Amino acid sequence: MKATEMLAKRLELIKPSPSVTAMSRANELIAAGHDICNLAGGEPDFETPVHIIDGASEAMRSGATKYTSVDGTKALKEAIVEKFRRENGLHYETSQISVGAGAKQIIFNAVTCSVNDGDEAIIPAPYWVSYPDIVRFNGGLPVFVTTSAAQDFKITPDQLREALTPRTKWLFLNSPNNPTGSTYTSSELAALGRVLREHPDVQVLTDDIYEHIRYDDSNYTSFAAANPDLFDRTLTINGVSKAYSMTGFRIGYAGGPQPLIKAMAMLQSQNSGNPASVSQAAALTALKGGMDFFPAWLAKYRQRRDYVVSHLNAVQGLSCPTPQGAFYVYVGCEEIIGKTSPSGVRISNDTDVVMYLLNDYGVATVQGAAYGVSPAFRISFATSLTTLEKACARIAAACAALR
């Protein structure tokens, strides 16, 4: 048997995560001794707060190292219920809460448990790279709705109405958005809700993982809070990775309709079992321990954002909208497409741009093609200001060298 014959045909429906691939390539070059500014990764560079580490350590010492309930301990679910009530005005029972090994597993479980062959999921673009592949892997059809910088990369009610069909199962929303940082207001979410009331079979998957990383003083509103009558049609997803710098703990969670949550627990009982008990204990400490540390983090994010936006907008050929949230900028590069590098390589698309920046100037980014809107590239500013200063100077030099 050939090696390829061992593999299931369904694997042809997905591809490796482009952002993970870019980050891994950058790390390989760094390990080999190359001077690389790695702006490809999507995780906070801050240390996990000490009180959370202490909570995990105490849990281990007290024996919390065994199996738990398959989709989360009672204590963690209760803390999530309280978090949703306190911060989002959403009222769930513990039977409506799912805890998994990261928000990605929660999304995968939800789609696997709900999408039949041919069902459609509306995904505004730019989008997080995993959404389309998760839908495709489960027999669904991603329906992309392209947004632009002129509309702040947010889907409009008219665009949503046009994209809806009798096969539509889900609308995916991600606010603040990866990769653009765009954030929906309460009134914008309510306007989308008015369209969805005309389509009672459509569910909403809202990914709020960057909820706390926002740069204005307005209150954050989740879709279900803006549309209370659509609460039972909404799966609200969050996690501890971004707000608490706990990416490696792999804890995501969701609140949603009980039948879906029950089905997700059944699936999880077969595909992974419970999330790590120690990680759950750490997440419990995080959700119950407050966020006194976070304003200092946010101030640093804002400083980095403002530096990157101002310096890249000063580069001829680039356009860098100011993100309202998350820790990414989505840099338009249309004006440098068609130019030629000093080594004679023609820049034909944004993948070429990304490879040029990496190979010739040591800056790792991710191509806009991975997120569904080109030509552009994503930069993560979840790294030191020193690294960002060096990277911006290199990007400016790279663009100036093109002819």
- Give the CATH H-level superfamily of domain 3-47+293-401: Aspartate Aminotransferase, domain 1 (3.90.1150.10)
Question: For residue 247, what are the CA distances in angstroms to 83, 241, 251, 292, 368?
Answer: 19, 4, 8, 19, 23
pLDDT reported for residue 128: 97
β-strand pairing of 141-146 with 120-125: parallel
pLDDT reported for residue 294: 98
- Residues in the chain, how many? 403
The DSSP secondary-structure symbol of 201 reads T
- List strands edge to edge, sheet with 366-367: 328-332, 376-380, 366-367
Of 208, 205, 144, which Cα lies nearest the Cα of 172? 205
pLDDT reported for residue 27: 82
**For residue 346, how far is the Cα from the chain centroid?**
32
Which value, to the nearest 10 degrees, does the dihedral of the CA atoms of residues 32, 33, 39, 45 take?
100
Ordered by start, the domain boundaries in the chain are: 3-47+293-401, 64-288
The low-confidence residues of the chain, meaning pLDDT below 70, are 1, 3-4
Domain 64-288: assigned CATH number: 3.40.640.10
**For residue 32, how far is the Cα from the chain centroid?**
29
